Amino acid sequence: MADRRARAAEILVILRRNFRVPRLSSVADDPFKVLIRTIISQSTAERNTRRAYDNLSRSFPITPERLSKANAKKIESSLRVAGLYRSKSKIIKEVSKTIHESYGDSLDFIYSEPTEVARKRLIDLPGVGPKTADIVLLFCAKRPVLPVDTHVDRVSKRLGLVPSNARYEEVRSGLQEAYPPKDYFAVHMLLISLGRAYCRALNPLCQECPVREKCPSSKSPLMRKGPRSFIGREHHGMVGNYRLGPMRPSATVRKRSSQICRTRGRRAPARSPRPRSSGLPPSQAA
């Protein structure tokens, strides 16, 4: 444990030297706004999350009462750029209604309740999973929790800070044991920065990575495959107990599916503009 903490501290020093720790934005002063923004961010790139949240805030005041009574179609229109907008609209309306009716439009219990009690109350809200709850607790109440998103999960496993088959709670507890609470926000943000810039899911830039000397995965011949990810259902089309929808298959998968359908004589998916094949070799097709 002591060796792991020492290596974790060395990694953090290198990360601070190479990346900037962002300051919490003004939105972090309002836990409900952080909650809504985090729900929008599920399975969505940061740029589109920001655009969707800005659209929503221009259309409605971001309060539990207003969103609970807002027209679902108007919410969907605001969130369209973020994808999965129908499901996210439903979740936002339901969680807003619960907070409006059961909590008096306030999530102030995150400041007064013990951390685990506040965390459980957040997770019990419609559509709120562990990562979302941890983000609200850390960003707004400065509670000693370390949220694990897809980048934090992947990078921490490749660095050997947590087991490669660890699930969300094991990753979270492992990182919290490796770092002091005062560094949780910095660790969260810096691991995300490293994941976006170098430690990508596919084709990681190991030779250019600033922590390659501290990373046991950088020399692994299996590096390109990466570790199996158990980052929680929130990153696989799920938010809390809600399914956001099927994840969009890659272009390669769609192309291969279309080829198989044509080979077997079935109609190709509508997405494919190519005509059905006759099944004959090109020389005989005419």
- Give pLDDT tens digits for 9-20: 999 999 999 999
Taking the C-alpha atoms of residue 276 and residue 157, their distance in angstroms, rounded to an integer, is: 45
| pLDDT of 277 | 45
Residue 93 lies in a domain: no
Q: Answer yes or no: is 183 within a domain.
A: yes
The DSSP line for the chain is -HHHHHHHHHHHHHHHHHSPPPPPPGGGG-HHHHHHHHHHHTTS-HHHHHHHHHHHHHHS-SSHHHHHHS-HHHHHHHHGGGS-HHHHHHHHHHHHHHHHHHSTT--THHHHS-HHHHHHHHHTSTT--HHHHHHHHHHHH--S-----HHHHHHHHHTTSS-TT--HHHHHHHHHHHS-GGGHHHHHHHHHHHHHHTS-SSS--GGG-TTGGG-GGGG-TTTTT-PPP---GGGTTEETTEE--PPPPPHHHHHHHHHHHHHTTPPPPTT--SPPP-SS-HHHH-
Range of the structural domain that residue 192 is part of? 146-234
| pLDDT value of residue 232 | 42
Model confidence over 77-95: pLDDT tens digits? 999 999 898 999 999 999 9
Q: Is residue 52 part of a domain?
A: no
The per-residue pLDDT for 267 is 52
Asked whether residue 218 is assigned to any structural domain, the reply reads yes
Q: How many CB atoms lie within 10 A of CB 13?
A: 12
CB 133 within 8 A of CB 117: no
The verdict on residue 28 lying in a domain is no
Q: Would residue 154 count as lying in a domain? A: yes
Low-confidence residues of the chain: pLDDT under 70: 26-27, 221-286
Q: What is the CATH number of the domain that holds 212?
A: 1.10.1670.10
For residue 248, the model assigns a pLDDT of 42
Structural domains counted in the chain: 1
Quick check: is 243 in a domain?
Answer: no
Query: Does residue 85 lie within any of the structural domains?
Result: no
pTM: 0.76
Q: Residue 219's pLDDT is what?
A: 80
Predicted local confidence at residue 262, as pLDDT: 52
